[in-house]
Amino acid sequence: MRVWDSLVGQGQAVDVLMKAAWASRIGDATVAQPEGSADPRAEGLSTQAMAQAWLITGPPGSGRSNAALAFAAALECTGETPGCGTCNECRSVIARVHPDVRHLDAVGVTITVEETRAMVADSYTFPSIGRRRVIIIEDADRMLERTTNVLLKAIEEPPAETVWILIAPSAEDMLPTIRSRCRHVALVVPPAQAVAELLQNRYAVEPEQALHFARAAQSHIGRAAGLATDAETRDHRQLTIRAALGVQSTGEAVLAAMRLFNGYEDSEGKKAREQEAKAYGKAHPDDEEAQDPSLTAEEKRERKDLKRQLGVETSRELKPAQRGMWRDLIKMQEKRRTRAVRDRLDLALLDLLAVYRDVLTVQVGAQVPLVNEDFSAQITQVAASTSPLLTVHRMDAISTARERLAANVAPQLALEAMFVSLRPSALGA
């Protein structure tokens, strides 16, 4: 299986990245050369097809992260065709364990200056075993202006062996100074049928169900996979949509917001956060690991790894300076959970946008399939009892809530304001 096979409906982007991977091999005696390949994309290439800074954009669920990972694998690949998927380099990159491919994920709401500086410093080191030093920045749009200024020089004049890959929803989300120094690859929303075929092949989902999940996820590949494989994800979607369609009063709006927020917060480990908050001032942080079953396996591993690196077996042996490192790790895990809750809430709001898109579709008589066919009866009822003006107002309220979540507004307050605007009387209707 090639590394490109996970990119659904992105043929044009794959061609661009494949040509760049071929071009990166020109003059490299350790790998197959373009002129010796049967791949038509390798014919007549020059080094200009390759750049050292890339910006991969696309709507949520289009496969931006997969595209970046596939491109990194193709650059490190030692097989006859870049991105063969079978060589050690391809497999280790896809598994995220290749020492020369670094990832910077937004642990919190924003990417910090300190995190970016560490990556910039790393970009000037020579590859240890691979052909390139590849640095992937997820959610690059979450960098503040002062953070992007740290990155600017490194992208403008990178070492010959370094390749930067930035990932963002759109090019407009990046500062012009960064955008102008990157080769842009734009992904598209994959067709629902293509996503359905992926679900059938990867998860053995029945064709009809696969198409339903693909449409309900609005072709968001990760979301569709979650709906196909996880009952909790399906339940959350059902509850979210029912809550929104059932709001009639301000009291119901506040309750709906509380239930939605608490549902996602609990699933990301609310109990873990409470235990960690209490543990900040304790002498024995190990106690929380034994008492708190909601800590994820990754969090437990991170804590054990830190103790091993500090040369202690239990937190009782931690010195005062080391306790600061322990608290930093806990805070990082807290930020990661907060980010996960916000991301899942954003997906829930996308579900609601799709519902009211369906309502508006019925109201204006557009002859297009409904995204949420399983709620067709409720959608038809809402469409008949409200006006298109109210529907647009509701969609604006949901979009505003998404913007507020992205701006780090307290999630429950953002949700309460949104649900209040979803009431039938919100416009005096």
- Residue 272 near residue 295, CB atoms below 8 Å: yes
- The tens digit of pLDDT for each residue in 52-98 reads 999 999 998 899 999 999 999 999 999 999 999 999 999 999 999 99
What value does the mean pLDDT take over residues 352-375? 94
Kindly give the residue spans of alpha helices, DSSP state H, lying in 373-429: 376-385, 388-406, 411-421
Q: Do 278 and 221 reside in the same domain of the chain?
A: no
223, 271: one domain: no
- Residue 41: its pLDDT value, please? 61
Residues 409 and 302 in one domain: no
Q: What angle do CA 383, 388, 392 make, to 5 degrees?
A: 110
CA angle 280, 284, 287 (to 5 degrees): 95
Q: Read off the tokens for 77.
A: 């690949």
- Which tens digit of pLDDT belongs to each residue from 158-178? 999 999 999 999 999 998 999
Read off the pLDDT of residues 286-300 as tens digits, 9 standing for 90 and up. Answer: 445 544 566 777 788
Cα dist from 184 to 57, 96, 187, whole Å? 8, 23, 10
Flag whether 67 is in a domain. Answer: yes
In the prediction, which pLDDT does 429 show?
45
The residue with greater pLDDT, 300 or 126, is 126
The verdict on 417 and 305 lying in the same domain is no
Residue 284 has pLDDT above 90, yes or no: no
pLDDT score recorded for residue 42: 60
261 and 409 both lie in a single domain: yes
Q: Say if 249 falls within a structural domain.
A: no
Query: In this structure, are 79 and 168 located in the same domain?
Result: yes
Kindly state whether residues 271 and 374 are assigned to the same domain. no
Q: Which residues contact 115 (CB under 8 A, 6 or more apart)?
A: 104, 107
Predicted local confidence at residue 279, as pLDDT: 45
Tell me the three state secondary structure of residue 3: helix
Does one domain contain both 121 and 200?
Answer: no
Range of the domain at 378: 257-265+337-422
The pTM of the full predicted model, rounded to 2 decimals, is: 0.78
Q: Tell me, what's the pLDDT at 285?
A: 46
- Kindly state whether residue 4 falls inside one of the protein's structural domains: no
> Predicted confidence band at 44 (pLDDT cuts at 50, 70, 90)?
low
Q: How far apart are CA 171 and CA 44, in angstroms?
A: 29
My answer on whether 88 and 166 are in the same domain is yes
Question: Do 377 and 361 fall within a single domain?
Answer: yes
Calculate mean pLDDT across residues 305-325: 79
The pLDDT, as a whole number, for residue 338 is: 83
**Residues 108 and 223 grouped into a single domain:** no
Q: Which amino acid is at 156?
A: E
Question: How confident is the model over 223-273, as pLDDT tens digits?
Answer: 999 999 999 999 999 989 998 998 999 999 999 999 988 876 555 454 444
Q: Looking at the structure, do residues 135 and 209 belong to the same domain, yes or no?
A: no
Domain count, the chain: 4
Q: d(Cα 387, Cα 379) in Å, to the nearest integer?
A: 13
- Tell me the CA distances in angstroms from 206 to 200, 202, 229, 309, one per residue in order: 6, 11, 12, 48
User: What's the pLDDT at 315?
Assistant: 67
Contact of 97 with 129, CB cutoff 8 Å: no
Burial class (CB in 10 A: 0-12, 13-18, 19+), 235: exposed
Measured from the Cβ of residue 151, the count of other Cβ atoms closer than 10 Å reads 27
